[in-house]
Amino acid sequence: MQTRQGERLPFLIWHSCSRAEKCPPIGLESLKIDDFQLHASSTKRYGLGAHRGRLNIQAGLYEDDLYDGAWCAGRDDTLQWFEVDARRLTKFTGVITQGRSSLWSSDWVTSYKVMFSNDSHTWITLNNGSEDLIFKGNREKEIPVRNIFPEPVVSRYIRINPRSWFTRGSICMRVEILGCPMPDPNNYYHRRNEVTTTDDLDFRHHSYKEMRQLMKVVNEMCPNITRIYNIGKSQSGLKLYAIEISDNPGEHEVGEPEFRYTAGLHGNEVLGRELLLLLMQFMCLEYLSGNQRIRHLVEETRIHLLPSVNPDGYEKAFEVGSELIGWSLGRWSNDGIDIHHNFPDLNAILWAGEAKKWAPRKMFNHHIAIPDWYQSTNASVSQ
C-alpha cells in the first residue's frame, strides 16, 4: 500500500486472509473504548464532541444538549476526520456508521475513506492498489451501515474521513469499529484496560448449543449436586433447559425452600442469560473448593436456574449481530408473545380462594390448585 506521495509505510501490516474472517466490535458502543481514545479534526460544540461519536448513542430531548447524539464536525469539508486510538496493535476489519440521533436535525455521512497509522502523524488511506477506496455510508440517520474491508489491516489508530454528506445536513456520525486485538503482553494500555480474573469461568456470549454444552460441563463437574431437566419446548422446538442445584437433586424435601431464577424472556437481552450461566459455574466450583457459604446454600436450598426462556429470540438476534440489531428483533417469542408480560396472576387466584373460603387464610399458597382454565389450550399463558 502506498501513500498519496508514494512512500511505503513499513510499520503497517496488510493482512492477507479470507474475506469471511470476522472480528467483533472493539467497544465504542459498549464504552470499553473510553472518551480519551476518541479524537476528531473539529467539533461543532462540546455536546457533539468526539466522545459522542458512539454507535447507537442517543440524544437528549432538546437541541444544544450537553450530551447530544453524535460527533459533528465544526466545518463541513472533506478535511474532517473521526479517529479511534485502540492503544495497541489491532487487526481492523470493518466500520459501522449511523447518522446523528436527533428529533430536529437530519445529519449523516453518505460516503467516507478509512485511514490508518501507528503514530497518529503519518497516515495511509485504504486503497485497492490504484486509488483510494470510498465506502458508501448512510442514507438516513438511524439504520446502521456496515462496511467490511477487502483485507484486514493491522495498526493502532484508525480514522474515518467523510467525503460526502446529506445535502441539507452536516457532517455527523455515530461509529463502531470492528477489530481483533493483537497479542501484546508488554503494552501498558493493554494491562490497564483488560479485566483479569482468577476465576475459571467462561466469560463470553453463548449460543443455544454452547449454553447446553456449558450446562452439561457443570453437571459433569458436580454430578452430586446438579441435575439438568427441561420444562418444555420453544415455538421452534428448542428445549427449555434448566439446572437444579441441591444436595439431593431431583428430590423435593419438605420444609426446604426452593426458588428459580429465569432469564432470557426477551431473547435479545442477553445479560441475564450469561449471569445465570456464570452463577451455575461459580456455585459448582466454589462448592468443590469448600466455600462454606455456597455449601450452606446448596445444602439448605433447592435452586433452579433457567437461563433462556426465549432461545428462539436469542438465535434470531444473534444471527443479525449486536451491532446491527434493533431493540425489537428477537424480543418476543416466534409466535409474537412478550413472555415477560405473560405470566399468570397466581396472587389473584390465592386471594380469590381465601375470599370464597376454599382454604383457611393462614396457609401456603401452593396449596391452592391452579384452575383448569389456566391450563387449557386457549389460555393466555405461554407454554
Query: For cell 478535511, what's the residue?
Result: 79
Tell me which residue of 69, 73, 76, 139 sits closest to 105, measured CA to CA. Answer: 69
Q: What is the pLDDT of residue 330?
A: 80
Distance CA(348)–CA(80), nearest Å, equals 62
Tell me which residue of 123, 124, 100, 126 sits closest to 112, measured CA to CA. Answer: 126
Q: What is the pLDDT of residue 10?
A: 42
Exposure string over 9-27, b if 16+ CB within 10 A, otherwise e:
beebeeeeeeeeeebebbb
356 Cβ contact list (under 8 Å, min separation 6): none
Q: What is the pLDDT along the chain (383 residues), one digit of tens a residue?
A: 433 333 334 446 555 544 446 899 999 999 999 999 999 999 999 999 999 999 999 987 766 667 899 999 999 999 999 999 999 999 999 999 999 999 889 999 999 999 999 988 899 999 998 899 999 999 999 999 999 999 999 999 999 999 999 999 999 999 999 999 998 655 544 444 444 445 567 677 888 999 999 999 999 999 999 999 999 998 889 999 999 999 999 998 888 999 899 998 887 788 899 999 999 999 999 999 888 889 999 999 999 999 999 999 888 888 877 667 677 788 888 778 887 777 766 667 666 766 776 655 554 555 556 666 656 665 544 44
Q: What is the pLDDT of residue 332?
A: 80
**What is this structure's pTM?**
0.51
Residue ranges of domains in the chain, CATH in brackets: 35-181 (2.60.120.260), 208-320 (3.40.630.10), 347-375 (no CATH)
- Taking only Cα atoms into account, the Rg of the chain, rounded to an integer number of angstroms, comes to 27
Q: What number of other Cβ atoms are within 10 A of residue 329's Cβ?
A: 15
The answer to whether 338 and 331 are in contact (CB under 8 A) is: yes
Q: What is the pLDDT of residue 1?
A: 42
Distance CA(252)–CA(91), nearest Å, equals 53
Q: What is the pLDDT of residue 100?
A: 96
Q: What is the pLDDT of residue 2?
A: 38
